């Protein structure tokens, strides 16, 4: 049986990667030239998949690559340990990595252990048990942030490092960590960086004139993939799987999914599975809505729980986003139509919905529900 050609819930492989040729070429070129790139993208736009494709292309050029998510760590020291561990993994022979790291870190004695890896093999664990005070964290950060340059010098190879969800770094130590990292990376001529974030407002603030990363390097912003490109992608892959695609299917699917890469892949994946299991020979707008109804039923309990946790003002604002396509939400007409309060109350509700990751603000002041399934549930099940 053919494999489902649509992928969601993970970084998509090259076979499921859509468009982004211009962005990919630019990112690869900048990182190969050791630029320090800020990549800003709302959630579900395919940022992580783009980064993974760029690093794979650089690895084929013998560039050493490192990728980690800043949001994975619960403290400053945990982040520094994780960063050191990822750098340490560049030395693939575990027995050589321990003295290699000890030699690169001048002031600290890292505790390095070889541990079994899930699924087989070995991996290295790095800890800094001597770190007791904030001033020790500052000194450790300076050492760890200098590691990439030392690794480049010791191996004779360039590095490309991706720090995803970079905006989270400010929670560890405020401006101090930004200043320390900027100080280190600006001197690293053989190391390219991509600082990527999915909270545009916070990321934009990090490159303003009074912040350490002001003018640190090129700025990239991911826009939506053109809907016609996604429509062609969806319909082509259904046809290659042996399905007859009825007119309007691709466009309807992309519209229902809000033209968000994650949601388009999810809805197409689920429709493909339903069609294969049911033995449908064709996929159409009708079969698409059957799949949509199934998904809404499966998610109903979760969506109901989210809805119940919202205040009345937040519920009203969310419904306005859905039914007004996120436009003109502060206008008198919209506020009257949806029984909203004054402009300041609406703004407060929208900010709360953004903090809850339920709504995002796009260009030109338009708002959009983050999850297209939740949007459809709100439209059909709330009043």
Q: Give residue-wise pLDDT tens across range 127-154.
A: 887 787 888 888 888 888 988 998 898 8
Query: End of a domain among 256, 285, 309?
Result: 309
Mark whether 291 and 259 lie in a shared domain: yes
Q: Answer yes or no: is 12 within a domain.
A: no
In a domain, 164, yes or no: yes
Q: Which stretches of the chain are DSSP H helices?
A: 21-32, 47-59, 76-88, 94-104, 134-155, 170-173, 175-185, 200-206, 227-240, 249-256, 261-278, 285-309, 312-323, 332-337, 343-355, 372-381
**281, 243 contact by CB (below 8 A):** yes
Looking at the domain assignment, is residue 4 inside a domain? no
Residue 209 pLDDT exceeds 80: yes
Same domain, yes or no: 31 and 82: yes
Kindly state whether residue 379 falls inside one of the protein's structural domains: yes
pTM over 0.75: yes
What is the per-residue pLDDT across 13-65, written as a single tens digit (0 to 9) for each? 777 677 788 899 999 999 999 999 999 988 888 888 899 999 999 999 999 99
Residues 130, 263, single domain; the answer is: no
Residues 187 and 242 reside in one and the same domain:
no
Q: Are residues 162 and 47 in the same domain?
A: yes
Judged against a pLDDT cut of 60, whether residue 191 lies above it is answered with yes
pLDDT at 104 over 50: yes
Residue 105: pLDDT band with limits 50, 70, 90: low
Domain containing 365: what range? 311-383
pLDDT band at 94 (very low <50, low <70, confident <90, very high): very low
The verdict on 57 and 166 lying in the same domain is yes
Give the residue-averaged pLDDT of 312-329: 96
Residue 3 or residue 321, greater confidence: 321
Query: For residue 265, how many C-alpha atoms fall within 13 Å in the half-sphere facing its CB?
Result: 21
How many distinct structural domains can be found in the chain? 3
Predicted pLDDT of residue 1: 56
Using 50, 70 and 90 to split pLDDT, how confident is the model at 121? Answer: low
- Residues 229, 138 share a domain: no
The confidence band for 336, taking pLDDT boundaries of 50, 70 and 90, is very high
Last residue of a domain, one of 267, 293, 309: 309
Among 256, 288, 309, the domain boundary falls at 309
Task: CATH number of the domain at 236, please.
Answer: 1.10.8.60
């Amino acid at each position: 049986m053919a494999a489902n050609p649509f992928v969601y819930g993970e970084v998509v492989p090259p076979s499921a990667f859509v468009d982004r040729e211009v962005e990919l070429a630019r990112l690869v070129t900048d990182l190969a030239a050791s630029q320090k790139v800020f990549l800003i993208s709302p959630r579900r736009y395919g940022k992580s998949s783009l980064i993974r494709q760029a690093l794979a292309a650089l690895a084929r050029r013998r560039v050493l690559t490192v990728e980690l998510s800043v949001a994975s760590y619960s403290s400053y020291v945990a982040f520094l340990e994780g960063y050191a561990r990822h750098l340490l993994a560049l030395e693939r022979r575990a027995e050589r990595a321990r003295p290699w790291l000890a030699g690169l870190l001048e002031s600290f004695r890292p505790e390095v252990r070889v541990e079994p890896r899930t699924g087989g093999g070995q991996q290295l664990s790095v800890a800094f048990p001597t770190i007791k005070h904030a001033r020790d964290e500052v000194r450790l950060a300076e050492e760890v942030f200098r590691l990439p340059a030392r690794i480049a010098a010791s191996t004779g190879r360039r590095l490309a490092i991706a720090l995803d969800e970079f905006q989270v770094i400010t929670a560890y130590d405020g401006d101090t960590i930004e200043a320390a990292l900027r100080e280190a990376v600006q001197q690293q001529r053989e190391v390219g960086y991509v600082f990527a974030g999915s909270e545009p407002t916070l990321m934009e603030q990090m490159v303003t004139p009074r912040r350490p990363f002001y003018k640190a390097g090129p700025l990239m912003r991911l826009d939506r993939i053109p809907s016609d490109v996604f429509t062609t992608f969806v319909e082509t892959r259904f046809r290659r799987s042996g399905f007859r695609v009825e007119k309007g299917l691709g466009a309807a699917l992309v519209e229902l999914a809000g033209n968000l890469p994650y949601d388009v892949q999810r809805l197409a994946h689920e429709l493909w599975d339903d069609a294969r299991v049911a033995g449908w020979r064709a996929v159409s707008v009708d079969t698409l809505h059957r799949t949509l109804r199934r998904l809404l039923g499966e998610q109903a309990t979760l969506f109901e729980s989210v809805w119940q946790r919202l205040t009345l003002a937040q519920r009203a604002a969310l419904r306005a986003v859905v039914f007004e396509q996120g436009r003109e939400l502060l206008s008198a007409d919209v506020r009257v139509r949806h029984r909203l309060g004054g402009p300041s109350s609406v703004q407060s509700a929208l900010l709360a919905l953004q903090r809850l990751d339920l709504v995002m603000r796009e260009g030109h002041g338009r708002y959009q529900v983050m999850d297209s399934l939740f949007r459809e549930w709100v439209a059909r099940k709330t009043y």
